[in-house]
Amino acid sequence: MVKIALPPTTLGQDLLITLSILATASLPPTDVYIKVGIEPSKGITYIETNADTVKLSKAVINVLSKNLVVSGARRARLPLVPTDLNALRKVLGRAVSGKADLRGALYNDLVGVLKQKDFIKYLDINNVSTRYGRNIEIYLGAPKGALTLPRVMISDGFFELGKLHGIKDVKTVSGPPRLGKVDLRCSPEVAPLMHASVLGFEVLNFAVAGNMFHLFITLKAPPDICIKYMDAKLLAKVFTYALKLTSKFNFIDIYEDYEVHRLYLLLKIFHKYIKSLAHLFASSPELSSLG
């Protein structure tokens, strides 16, 4: 059994949970399971699994290699900022361009580098370093040479903290005083996974009134919910179907009424998979809380 640490932000956790479910579903039939938990001593959410880590690593890479997300984001502007590009330069050992037409090549390079990394080892909960005080420091993997997590992965999580409470993850040069700093990083062995997840699961991105919006479709798994192999297989089908439905929409339709789009997806999913979902929830009632 291994406990895989997750990034301490909503998007970061959802991306890796989704990737773990899809990877588990791609394994040969087995009694494998995954379950989300929280390590109280470190305040870190993790995925517990009894899967062989070597096989799971290969399954994660296979999922990313298949590039399951077929969407308008494939050749769209990258959801990356200069600090992300600088981190990727250190990971890939070359200059990285943010041009949209090079997005596919960058994604493939990240997956290629990931094949050479023992990323699950570095994401083991025992390899997470945390320090809580006025400043908060969380390092996934070895602190030495740690790189910042993708900006889009952390910005939404700390926007309100910075705006309303003075807690920021960047240096303050103007505006309200900074009461504390949050530093979220990961080791170079883990960085390719984080950035590939962001690029691979972004469905759409678009600009409205000068502001960039990014749409990700993910699976959620509340703590202590045991997802078995057959559960993961069904959830993978549901996820793929949701992507297919979303690809038919214009980004303006989603932007103008996100909740209506979400309700539409839920109704279509239940209509298509009602028998399978009814059987799933009957055999595992706790799974009814999955979103």
Per-residue pLDDT tens digits for 249-265: 766 667 677 788 788 88
Per-residue pLDDT tens digits for 128-147: 999 888 778 899 988 788 89
Q: Residue 71: count other Cβ atoms within 10 Å of its Cβ.
A: 19
User: In the prediction, which pLDDT does 162 show?
Assistant: 43
Compute the average pLDDT of residues 171-180.
Answer: 52
Burial degree of 15 (CB within 10 A; 0-12, 13-18, 19+): buried
d(CA 276, CA 45): 29
The pair of three-digit structure tokens given for residue 133, joined into one six-digit string = 């005080």
The CA–CA distances, whole Å, from 25 to 10, 58, 106, 129, 250 equal: 22, 13, 26, 30, 30
Contact criterion met (CB below 8 Å) for 232 and 56: no
Per-residue pLDDT tens digits for 99-117: 877 888 888 899 999 999 8
pTM: 0.85
With 90 as the cut, is the pLDDT of residue 168 above it? no
The pair of three-digit structure tokens given for residue 228, joined into one six-digit string = 């078995």
User: In the prediction, which pLDDT does 209 show?
Assistant: 75
* Helix (H), strand (E) counts: the chain: 10, 11
Q: Which residue has the higher pLDDT, 276 or 49?
A: 49
Segments making up each domain of the chain, as ranges: 2-289
At 26, the pLDDT band (50, 70, 90 cuts) reads: very high
Q: What is the DSSP letter of 118?
A: -
User: In the prediction, which pLDDT does 280 show?
Assistant: 58
Per-residue pLDDT tens digits for 43-67: 899 999 999 999 999 999 999 988 6
The CA–CA distances, whole Å, from 172 to 23, 129, 143 equal: 40, 25, 23
Alpha helix (H) residue ranges in the chain:
10-25, 53-66, 82-92, 103-114, 119-122, 151-165, 191-201, 229-246, 251-256, 258-283
The CA–CA distances, whole Å, from 134 to 130, 156, 166, 167 equal: 13, 21, 11, 9
Residue 251 CB contacts under 8 Å (≥ 6 apart), including other chains: 72, 204, 206, 213, 215
Q: Are strands 33-39 and 180-186 parallel, antiparallel or unpaired?
A: unpaired
Per-residue pLDDT tens digits for 117-128: 899 999 999 999
d(CA 265, CA 282): 22
The CA–CA distances, whole Å, from 92 to 89, 95, 161, 182, 277 equal: 5, 8, 32, 26, 42
At 172, the pLDDT band (50, 70, 90 cuts) reads: very low
User: In the prediction, which pLDDT does 70 show?
Assistant: 44
Contact criterion met (CB below 8 Å) for 110 and 96: no
Residue in the structure block whose two tokens are 């962001």: 198
User: In the prediction, which pLDDT does 246 show?
Assistant: 80
